[in-house]
């Protein structure tokens, strides 16, 4: 039985350990070889990683680059824009974005003499609705960062609708896809945002250090990143100090010596998702979350996620009663081989490909006993 419900944190897939060990062992062998093939091999792995992400996103060649983290990717993009694009204007973000991105935005916007508009949920609601975002989104918004799926409620925004509104306002629109990519279909062309940032760590089952940035060809041409280096060029070995020239594509989002190792470590997970198919993974997840949802509702627990499946990502969040310590619940579940986590009183449940139906039933038994409720029939 697999009681793993932590895909919102680190993604898993069948035989992950053996596949990851094989990939890293091969990297170690190639990197340790007493020849001149190390960088050719390593950059080939990075290229395969970027191609996998490009296929997941439905993106054109030359529009995706690796970044250390989603936060770094956002910084690179923002500080690469022409100065007048953001200075003195508004930047829009939802309060339930990933906190790291808000920390970054607060400082970058301050330094650019702008105004960070943080949209809060309506009273009594657990997430920032699309209507709330649009209500705060006027023509003074220079850039808006959208969260496709939130990490606190699993609310899934209609980013296509929001991107269209942003275009009508003349805003640059970006989307953080981290909590939904790999478990729900996504196509950058269909959504129509100007840029996309995401991590390989969650449903794509990768490792840390393997985030990406995607941008449209028009936005790439406009960006001249402040964070730059020899790998921002078409030819990294062009070392004439007076003739630096950005690569014409997403390679310009590179900077110093690249980090192919996280890309190589994330390739097996990416390959699993591509081999299995996002649609198939989404169906499997939908069946498991539906089973959990039915029990949560029948038990009378407070669901923090949207009730409608089409408005959710791959997770379900439940608010535990205030008189029941969330850390105690997480510990009790762990003792039974069920792995979850909590943010405050919100228990986060994310079943994926390795999570068994038996484990879902066992979770309801253990959680039900803690709450004095009935297990799933």
pLDDT at 376: 47
Residue 308 has pLDDT above 70, yes or no: yes
Q: Are 344 and 318 in contact (CB under 8 A)?
A: no
Query: Residue range 216-230: average pLDDT?
Result: 97
Residues 6+ apart with CB under 8 A from 320: 326, 329, 342, 345, 346, 347
pLDDT at 377: 45
- CA diameter of the chain: 72
SS3 content of the chain, % helix, strand, coil (to 5): 45, 15, 40
Does domain 16-275 fall under CATH 3.40.50.300? My reply is: no
- C-alpha span between 307 and 155 (Å, rounded): 10
- C-alpha span between 295 and 308 (Å, rounded): 15
pLDDT tens for residues 70-88?
999 999 999 999 989 999 9
Prediction pTM value: 0.96
Residues 108, 211, 24: CA angle, nearest 5 degrees: 145
Residue 374 has pLDDT above 60, yes or no: no
Domain ranges of the chain: 3-13+277-371, 16-275
- What's the N-to-C CA distance of the chain in angstroms? 19
| Mean pLDDT for all residues in the chain | 96
Does domain 3-13+277-371 fall under CATH 3.30.830.10? My reply is: no
Residue with the two structure tokens 């609708």:
161
pLDDT at 375: 47
pLDDT tens for residues 131-183?
999 999 999 999 999 999 999 999 999 999 999 999 999 999 999 999 999 99
Q: Are 49 and 204 in contact (CB under 8 A)?
A: no
Q: Are 95 and 119 in contact (CB under 8 A)?
A: yes
Residues 274, 149, 300: CA angle, nearest 5 degrees: 115
pLDDT tens for residues 17-66?
999 999 999 999 999 999 999 999 999 999 999 999 999 999 999 999 99
- C-alpha span between 351 and 296 (Å, rounded): 15
Residue 262 has pLDDT above 80, yes or no: yes
Query: Residue range 312-317: average pLDDT?
Result: 98
* Cα distances (angstroms) measured from residue 111 to each of 81, 83, 149, 184: 14, 12, 28, 36
Region of 270 on the Ramachandran plot (φ > 0 left; ψ -120 to 50 alpha; else beta):
alpha
Of residues 116, 87, 89, 88, the one with CA closest to residue 104: 116
8-state DSSP, 350: B
């Amino acid at each position: 039985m697999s009681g793993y419900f932590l895909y919102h944190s680190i993604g898993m897939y069948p035989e992950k350990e053996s596949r990851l060990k094989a990939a890293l062992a091969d990297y170690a062998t190639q990197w340790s070889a007493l020849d001149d093939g190390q960088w050719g091999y390593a950059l080939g792995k990075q290229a395969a990683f970027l191609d996998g992400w490009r296929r997941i996103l439905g993106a054109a060649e030359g529009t995706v680059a690796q970044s250390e983290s989603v936060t770094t990717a956002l910084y690179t993009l923002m500080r690469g824009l022409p100065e007048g694009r953001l200075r003195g204007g508004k930047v829009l973000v939802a309060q339930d974005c990933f906190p790291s991105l808000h920390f970054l935005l607060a400082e970058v916007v301050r330094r650019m003499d702008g105004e960070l508009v943080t949209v809060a949920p309506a009273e009594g609601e657990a997430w920032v609705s699309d209507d709330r975002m649009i209500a705060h989104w006027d023509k003074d918004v220079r850039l808006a960062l959208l969260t496709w799926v939130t990490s606190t409620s699993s609310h899934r925004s209609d980013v296509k609708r929001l991107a269209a509104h942003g275009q009508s306002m003349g805003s640059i629109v970006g989307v953080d896809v981290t909590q939904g990519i790999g478990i729900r279909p996504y196509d950058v062309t269909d959504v129509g945002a100007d840029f996309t940032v995401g991590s390989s760590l969650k449903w794509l089952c990768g490792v840390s250090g393997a985030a990406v940035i995607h941008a449209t060809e028009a936005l790439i041409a406009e960006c001249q990143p402040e964070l730059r280096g020899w790998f921002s060029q078409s030819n990294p070995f062009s070392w004439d100090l007076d003739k630096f020239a950005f690569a014409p594509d997403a390679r310009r989002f590179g900077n110093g010596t690249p980090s192919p190792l996280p890309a190589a470590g994330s390739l097996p997970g990416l390959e699993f998702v591509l081999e299995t198919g996002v649609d198939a993974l989404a169906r499997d997840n939908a069946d498991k979350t539906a089973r959990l949802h039915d029990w949560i509702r029948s038990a009378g627990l407070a669901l923090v996620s949207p009730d409608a499946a089409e408005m959710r990502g791959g997770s379900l969040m439940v608010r535990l009663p205030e008189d029941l310590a969330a850390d105690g619940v997480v510990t009790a579940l762990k003792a039974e081989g069920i792995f979850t986590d909590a943010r405050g009183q919100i228990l986060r449940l994310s079943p994926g490909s390795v999570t068994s139906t038996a484990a879902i039933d066992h979770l309801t038994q253990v959680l039900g006993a803690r709450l004095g409720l009935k297990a799933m029939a």
